[in-house]
Amino acid sequence: MGQERIQFFDTTLRDGEQSPGCSMHTAEKLRMARQLETLGVDVLEAGFAVASEGDFDAVQLIATEVRGPQIASLARAKREDIETAARALEDAGRSRIHIFLASSDIHLQYKLKITREQALEQADASVRLACQYVHTVEFSPEDSTRTDPDFLCKIVSVAVEAGATIINLPDTVGYTIPQEYAALFRLLRQRVPGMEKVTLSCHCHNDLGLAVANTLAAIEAGARQVECTINGIGERAGNAALEEIAAAMHVRNDKLPYTHGLVLDQLFPTSQLLSQIISYGPSPNKAIVGSNAFAHEAGIHQHGMLSNPLCYEIITPAAVGVPNNRMVLGKHSGRHALAHRLSELGHPLDSENLEIVYQRFIHLADRKKSVYDQDLLALLSEASAPVPTQKP
């Protein structure tokens, strides 16, 4: 039996762009959209067309220029939003309107100030309207994870009945935990009629650092679309990081036996392009794309890595497009790593000379956090000078 396919829905340009410091101009969004197409995402949420003129222009430009992924615009469950989204998407090859409507009592009461009954009516009318304009209509009951499960089933039934073929259950506030989120997907599959014709989708926020774990739990419980962003950017603590989900599926295909359309070695270039556009990158220790994600400094680790990378590396940097293994030399490094780097630099040393250079190296590393190639070359050229004595 063939493996089931997971659809990657990228919302870097919508949810990602909504976070502080991440706003992008239209031309930058188009550059990013082209790279996401190269990466192979299935759906590209290009913006929230009604939100501003800039958002409208970006959705329209991307819909016109980018043909690989399906292009989506977000819309509230309102006529104006849907008609604006439809206009922005007119020239798309394949288009999707993504309607969201709060379903938790706290949002209905305090934010929208409408009753549950009114929410059901709005869901029905808005999905029907959107179906007149685009190929695919996705419906998201916002704050799903804090919604009364009975009412969640009801509003989803209404949306499916009205024509939505993608149902997304957003963990809008990053509140859920894996077991609970998985149970929600199972509940919907059991209780809502016609779910076998619907693609279930997850959308997780990282407020508790669980966005990727929750995403993987949702997949196991039947979600076949994952909503995520490059570098995990997004509202507050961000969204599930696309590169982490993809890497987990790659490394642990034994437990996550699914296929997808992503070109894995485009992950790092995509992350780099985003960092360059928004002027800040992921933290150094960020999984997969952080600058230290494949760096080994401890001497024992470096020795192990040189003997066989599998000792400490579950995925090669090259698999995700990271140019080469940046082994950081520092005071925790041993003679093996130093000798290896020196011979890479064209200076293989015998053990006697290595010992001399090693003593100099340790002395330098004590004062300097990272020792770079040019430092090593300088150490070599000082080789005739006496080894400096350690400071007390």
Binding site for Mn ion (CB under 5 A): 15
- Rounded to the nearest whole angstrom, what is the least distance from the CB of residue 261 to Mn ion in the complex? 23
Collapsed DSSP state (helix, strand, coil) of residue 132: coil
**How remote is the C-alpha of 293 from its chain's centroid?**
15
Cβ distance to Mn ion smaller for residue 8 or 358? 8
Residues in the chain: 392
Minimum CB distance to Mn ion smaller for 140 or for 157: 140
- At position 281, the amino acid (one-letter code) is G
Written as one letter, the residue type at 24 is M
Instruction: Identify the CA nearest to 122 among candidates 86, 154, 159, 172.
Output: 159
Compute the least distance from the CB of residue 157 to Mn ion, in Å: 23
Query: Is the Cβ of residue 10 or residue 15 nearer to Mn ion in the bound state?
Result: 15
Q: Smallest gap, in angstroms, from Cβ of residue 18 to Mn ion?
A: 8
Tokens in use for 273?
């392009």
Give the nearest residue (CB) to Mn ion. 15
Least distance (Å) from Mn ion to the CB of residue 13? 13
**DSSP state at residue 324:** S
Distance between CA 27 and CA 231 in Å, rounded? 20
What is the rounded CA–CA span in Å between residue 154 and residue 27?
A: 41
Dihedral angle computed from the Cα positions of residues 114, 119, 125 and 126, in that order, rounded to the nearest 10 degrees: 90
Q: Which helix (H) or strand (E) holds 270?
A: helix 267-278
Count each helix (H run) and each strand (E run) in the chain, helices first. Answer: 14, 10
For CA atoms 348, 352, 356, 358, give the dihedral sign: positive
Least distance (Å) between residue 332 CB and Mn ion: 40
Quick one: 126 or 140, whose CB is closer to Mn ion?
A: 140
Nearer Cβ to Mn ion (42/45): 45
Taking the complex as a whole, the smallest distance from the CB of residue 76 to Mn ion amounts, in Å, to: 14
Give the three-class secondary structure for 226: strand
User: What's the token pair of residue 189?
Assistant: 């599959």
Cα(220)–Cα(256) distance, integer angstroms: 8
**15 or 28, CB closer to Mn ion?**
15
User: Is the Cβ of residue 157 or residue 206 nearer to Mn ion in the bound state?
Assistant: 206
Q: How far is the CB of 234 from Mn ion (least distance, A)?
A: 6
Distance CA(171)–CA(239), nearest Å, equals: 10
The answer to whether 267 touches 246, Cβ cutoff 8 Å, is: yes
Query: For 121, which DSSP code?
Result: H
Closest CA to 8 of 268, 179, 183, 239: 239
Of 200 and 376, which CB lies nearer to Mn ion in the complex structure?
A: 200
Residue number, 173 or 329, with CB nearest to Mn ion: 173
Residue whose CB is less far from Mn ion, 207 or 297: 207
Report whether 41 contacts 52 (CB < 8 A).
Answer: no
User: Least distance from C-beta 379 to Mn ion, angstroms?
Assistant: 51
Distance of closest approach, residue 182 Cβ to Mn ion, in angstroms: 19
**Tokens of residue 32, six digits:** 């990013």
Smallest separation, CB 191 to Mn ion (Å): 24
Q: How far is CA 88 from CA 38, 81, 128, 200, in A?
A: 23, 11, 18, 25
